[in-house]
Chain A
Amino acid sequence: MADVIVHIEGLKKYFEPHQSLIQSIGKSGPKKVIKAVDSISFDIVRGEIFGLIGESGSGKTTTGKLVMKLLDPTEGVIEFNNEDVTKLDKAGVIEYRRKVQMIFQDPYASMNPRFKIRDVLEEPLIIHKIGSSFDERQKLIIKALEEVKMMPAEEFMGRYPHMLSGGQRQRVATARTLILNPSLLVADEPVSMIDLSTRAEILAMMKDVQEDLGLSYLYITHDLSTARYFTDRIAVMYLGRIVEMGLADDIIDNPLHPYTQALIQAVPEPNAGNVGVVKELPIFGEIPSPANIPSGCRFHTRCPYAKPECENEAEPELMPAGNGHFHACRRWDQIKRAL
């Protein structure tokens, strides 16, 4: 059995829309519950980068927030180092947040503009009462900045966030998480707002840090092409469910679920000879509302291979296809033959 750092089972997060007094007295219909995350299960092995891929509205960010304990799950289990974190007390949550850190999407909004970089990095130390003296904290700050290759560290400490480029800010954001010596980083689209020329630099830096310190990552993105380079395993989410999961190479070279296939075909490739071609994707329309999830297989409304049984029968669970590859499509072998 692999060394599992995070174990998630049957995780659900439903949001109930706010109702006014009049609505609750009046005979409005049944409440429309938004099922953002609808029973997902996966494990993150220690030292691996686990990618969560999906369109907006697929529930990937909600999953990240649940793992961070920024939201409380409606149902299900989140275990961190074999300990159920949904039942932690206040002190436990603080300790948990030290071990599980987050890198946010927007490097411009995630730092106080009035703080110098030194203050940005010192704040988590103060909150978690690490380092009793100024000098001790100073040493930790320098070490964290050097880990993310922000050198000379002394010089960067005196700067304000607006004096840094997007890439440098994301380095500081990474340093801010590393300073607490975490074991899991949740990175929600960490490079989507960074220029393409430096995107690779940030991902390479994050990967180096991960290898040096033996961290585990939960990498949340909609971008399959960086996921292939960056992650070890991928779970593809659709409307709050995982529809396919496996090694990154297997998912991209041999996708089994029609949704994954459409996602892969949609990615543009920098090759000549595609200008005259109007790409027709094997998918219809746009993602339905999570307040109104289709019956049966929730992908059937957009699936070009759907048959009546996909709509009428129970929703397919994740099925193994060997080599740690799972999919949730009951017609996958027929689809494969059709291709």
Chain B
Amino acid sequence: MEKLLNVENLKMHYFTSKGAVRAIDDISFDLLVGETLGLVGESGCGKTSLATSILRMPSPPGRYVSGRIMVEGRDIIPLPEKEIRKNIRWEKISMVFQGAMNCLTPVYTIGKQMLETLNVHKEMPKPEAEALVKEYLGYVGLPPEIMGRYPHELSGGMKQRAVIATALFLKPSIVILDEPTTALDVIVQAQIISLLKKLKAQFNLSFIFITHDLALEAEVADRICVMYAGKIVELGLNGQIFGAQGPAHPYTERLLAATPRLFQKVEKLHFIPGTPPDLIEPPLGCRFNPRCNKAIPRCREEEPPLAEIEPGHMAACWLCNR
């Protein structure tokens, strides 16, 4: 299948006064046309850093160290900012930010904020621009009157819909969704997920869907990419991760065991003891080894590579790569 986005050996570190925080440390993956790639992991594992890196806007003091981000065969890291604004950001790759509901300015109407985004990218007569905004509000299930409303007049779900519409109207091919439903109630979450699935088919989009909730990934993602401490530890198809065989990497396995299931009464929920490591000086060998219950001596000395264990399924674990 055709590749839309190809990230190769990307390293992005935050250069702080205490040392370099290796938030993205040698990550490679690709995004195929029409797929949803789920990015999952605990807080602080580098999910959001990876998303902003793909948009060529790592938050300071973050800087690219090495690697390439290929969009349509072109590395976007060395491109000038002007070119990124004109041709890449929002035009090819857009993003729905974490807590998107709070990224709307309280003092402007929804319509003004949406038109502003549009005007930065496209010169368009006002009536035409307004018609376009109304059209996209319609796609996300909002009435056109919303344009005249202020954010505080809308519910969380409505604000999230408006933000999704804003991410779509420049017709990007890739949309990065960073925890798009985390602050929402479970019913609204399900409604937004259904909406996203419909929009994806309608506009032929590819999604990078970031969340900490494995259960949600099971519902939306074709492929799941599990991150731990700035690295990919497992990458596999939905069926390979959530199927009968179960995930390969001990981290994914334990994360899945910690996910509560509604229709299964369990006596004891599992959890992963300890906390994710310090990324200034990550542990030697596999970064998960201090919390892993299956670690062998080799795990403490040598870092396992991300290797294929079956077609389409990769894991970075010495126990899987025999």
Q: Does the CB pair A196–B221 fall under 8 Å?
A: no
Interface size on B, residues (CB 8 A): 52
Given A266-B187, A266-B190, A280-B194, the answer on whether A196 and B157 have CB atoms closer than 8 Å is no
A270 and B263 alpha carbons, distance in the complex (Å): 11
Task: Name the residue of chain B whose CB is nearest to the CB of A164.
Answer: B275
| A200: contacting residue among B190, B197, B258, CB under 8 A | B258
A268 and B212 alpha carbons, distance in the complex (Å): 13
Question: B236-271 CB contact bits vs A (8 Å, 1 = yes)?
Answer: 001101110000000000111011111101101111
Give the chain A neighbours of B256 by CB distance below 8 A.
270
Interface centre among B198, B222, B262 (most CB of A within 10 A): B262
Interface size on A, residues (CB 8 A): 44
Q: Does the CB pair A269–B263 fall under 8 Å?
A: yes
CB contacts under 8 Å to A, within B264-283, are 265-266, 268-273, 275
Give the chain A neighbours of B275 by CB distance below 8 A.
165, 167, 198
Question: A261-273 CB contact bits vs B (8 Å, 1 = yes)?
Answer: 0111111111111
* Cβ distance B297 to chain A, nearest Cβ, rounded Å: 25
Q: Does the CB pair A197–B260 fall under 8 Å?
A: no
* Cβ distance B122 to chain A, nearest Cβ, rounded Å: 31
Q: Does the CB pair A198–B242 fall under 8 Å?
A: no
Q: Does the CB pair B261–A225 fall under 8 Å?
A: yes
Give the chain A neighbours of B156 by CB distance below 8 A.
56
Give the chain A neighbours of B241 by CB distance below 8 A.
272
Q: Does the CB pair A269–B262 fall under 8 Å?
A: yes
Give the chain B neighbours of A333 by CB distance below 8 A.
none
Question: B31-69 CB contact bits vs A (8 Å, 1 = yes)?
Answer: 000001000001100000000000000000000000000
Q: Does the CB pair A272–B216 fall under 8 Å?
A: no
B129 proximal to A (CB < 8 A): no
Task: Name the residue of chain A whose CB is nearest to the CB of B270.
Answer: A200
A129 proximal to B (CB < 8 A): no
A116 and B219 alpha carbons, distance in the complex (Å): 43
Give the chain A neighbours of B220 by CB distance below 8 A.
275
Q: Does the CB pair A203–B36 fall under 8 Å?
A: no
Task: Name the residue of chain A whose CB is nearest to the CB of B257.
Answer: A200
Question: A66-102 CB contact bits vs B (8 Å, 1 = yes)?
Answer: 0000000000000000000000000000000000000
Give the chain A neighbours of B218 by CB distance below 8 A.
268-272, 274-275
19 A-B contacts, Cβ less than 8 Å apart? A196-B214, A198-B275, A200-B269, A200-B271, A204-B269, A222-B186, A228-B260, A249-B265, A253-B263, A268-B190, A268-B193, A269-B218, A269-B263, A271-B218, A272-B238, A275-B218, A275-B220, A279-B194, A287-B155
